[in-house]
Structure 1
């Protein structure tokens, strides 16, 4: 079950600057800092990998088709890109997030349709 997004203040700065932080088990994501940690270890994602993860984690259990991911993340008509591009980014992201065997697979495939965030 996904813990709802919450905000916290940036220490030492004006209180109007809030961070959107999402915690799901051992996975932590800060949207504004573009920071991802698994078991308190920083995970370096590419810009597209982070954008895909952010889209999915902000909409847990919602299935996004390949076309939706391309339109939202690439901000392009999906006809310019193939499903292979999305598959490659997802595959790379899964490898990076799986820092140990006990870390769950957060990104689930929905065969023939797309992907969703679920634990």
Structure 2
């Protein structure tokens, strides 16, 4: 059973779903703070929270809006709950700053697996995240590459990179999910937040080409953006350290 020091904020407007999740998680040793809407959830967010479970479809303030508000100031893992299952809907959630996505109806076994995975990722994936500490500045560190998750700030071999907002968003998207292959359509709809059309393919490729060019000037950082032929692009986290 998990220690009682794991506190989860559950934001869900459906009482039955909220109650069922609370009972399950409490039986596994977690402490649950409940909120029946987004505004209430934001008021209850504090430095003790280890995970946020957030419903997307809620009245007044959607889960996407809540997630964006959280990401303006805090890093804490966010698990979305939603009835939407399309790839575009998932990418919208990831773009807003969500870490994982669970489609209703879901099994409690699957929910527990996602919860434990996200809590485990906190202590491993982010080197500056410890226990119940929340951060206002989350950086991803990959050897010679450092990426700030809340502002257009990227360092390669200690040098600041001047990226356009779209280049930065592409890099951040790929780096947030290392080894996950993103199609050109995925990248365009996530970064540009527009419906994909065939002509958009060239737009994405040009931005990635420019991104790689800028990263190459800083050393070998361009090697992190890999082309997966016929499928799209992925982030390679095991990049070599530049010792020059």
Fold match by TM threshold 0.5 = yes
Distance (Å, rounded) in 2 between the aligned partners of 1:40 and 1:75: 31
Distance (Å, rounded) in 1 between the aligned partners of 2:134 and 2:144: 28
Task: Answer 1 or 2: which has greater helix percent.
Answer: 2
The count of corresponding residues between Structure 1 and Structure 2 is: 111
In structure 2, the partner of 1:34 is 152
Higher relative contact order (CA 8 A, sep 6+): 1
Contact 1:57/1:117 (CA < 8 Å) preserved in 2?
yes
1:80/1:74 CA distance change after superposition, 3 Å = farther
TM norm structure 2: 0.42
Larger Rg: 2
1:110/1:80 CA distance change after superposition, 3 Å = closer
Equivalences for residues 35-114 of structure 1 within 5 A: 35-79=153-197, 81-103=199-221, 105-114=223-232
1:19/1:7 CA distance change after superposition, 3 Å = farther
Q: Give 5+ residue unaligned stretches, structure 1.
A: 9-14
1:30/1:100 CA distance change after superposition, 3 Å = closer
Whether 2:123 is the aligned partner of 1:5: answer no
**Root-mean-square deviation over aligned CA pairs:** 2.1
Q: Aligned-pair distance for 1:6? A: 4.4
1:25/1:17 CA distance change after superposition, 3 Å = closer
1:78/1:100 CA distance change after superposition, 3 Å = same
Distance (Å, rounded) in 2 between the aligned partners of 1:72 and 1:87: 15
Structure 2 residue aligned with 1:21, among 139, 151, 162? 139
Task: Answer 1 or 2: which has greater strand percent.
Answer: 1
Tell me whether 54-63 or 32-41 shows the greater mean CA deviation. Answer: 32-41
Q: Give 5+ residue unaligned stretches, structure 2.
A: 1-123, 240-244
1:16/1:115 CA distance change after superposition, 3 Å = closer
Q: Aligned-pair distance for 1:52? A: 0.3
